[in-house]
Structure 1
């Protein structure tokens, strides 16, 4: 049997670490794509910048800036760490899988294990938008290609 309180505490710890010590905060150089997402209900804002390969089919680098709650900015950090180096098709598939995991509670595949900390937010419907803001922003950015 899984100890839910331990799992929940571990998720909180991981999210706080990602929030306090982001590795992908800033602006890419060059900026091939950028998109800003805003949640008017809570004020969270995330701006993503992406550097693409010469064929515009792979994310060479991705960074974020913004302000908001721990969930929002930790999710943006996790997004950047997972999609960097992925093809556009792979990145869009990950966006879809995260949405399904957070909103519909469909388990993530094993290769996205680092994102499992986001799944617990489905218990708090008012916080789902905090977690998914960066993911919706990435989808909007990639739609420009």
Structure 2
């Protein structure tokens, strides 16, 4: 059984690792969806690009650019990894599941256990918006047809 202290250490370790060395920073090629997200309360910004399969119902790649706190950037990197190969419907369901987890709901199944490290954020209500920004942005990207950068952004406030 893992103690709460060990769990907190693991959570901090994964977040710092993903913040310092993100694996999914950049822009997809081609860009099939583009969405900008912004968290006005702390200034986090995210620019998400997605590459979809030819029929447009499955995510082949997700990349992000942006600036923000360690939680926002780690969440973006973990989300990008988890979304590769998912259908659009699965991705939208996972956005809802992530938001539920941030409110103290159930965690993800074993295949997505890396996302569960973000569950520690739910203990800090002021930081939940940092963790969910990229997920709100993904949902907006999947529901739009934007392929070009624009000044419009989705906010999670």
- Pair in the same fold by TM > 0.5: yes
What is the SS of the residue equivalent to 1:65? strand
Q: Under a length normalisation based on structure 2, what TM-score does the superposition of the two structures give?
A: 0.89
CA distance in 1 between counterparts of 2:77 and 2:21 reads 9
Partner residue, 1:100:
100
1:115-134 to structure 2, matched below 5 A, reads: 115-134=115-134
CA distance in 1 between counterparts of 2:74 and 2:11 reads 11
Give the structure, 1 or 2, with the largest relative contact order (CA under 8 Å, sep 6 or more). 2
| RMSD across aligned positions (CA) | 1.1
Partner residue, 2:148:
none
* Cα displacement (A) at 1:23: 1.0
* Cα displacement (A) at 1:96: 1.0
Partner residue, 2:37:
37
**Structure 2 unmatched runs, 5+:** 146-157
Partner residue, 1:136:
136
What is the SS of the residue equivalent to 2:61? strand
Partner residue, 1:66:
66
What is the SS of the residue equivalent to 1:22? coil
CA distance in 1 between counterparts of 2:7 and 2:60 reads 33
What is the SS of the residue equivalent to 1:2? coil
* Cα displacement (A) at 1:144: 1.2
Preserved CA contact (<8 Å) 1:28 1:62: yes
Between 1:124-133 and 1:98-107, the stretch displaced more is 98-107
What is the SS of the residue equivalent to 1:135? helix
CA distance in 2 between counterparts of 1:25 and 1:3 reads 33
**Structure 1 unmatched runs, 5+:** none
Q: Under a length normalisation based on structure 1, what TM-score does the superposition of the two structures give?
A: 0.96
* Cα displacement (A) at 1:93: 1.2
Preserved CA contact (<8 Å) 1:46 1:65: yes
CA distance in 1 between counterparts of 2:31 and 2:117 reads 29
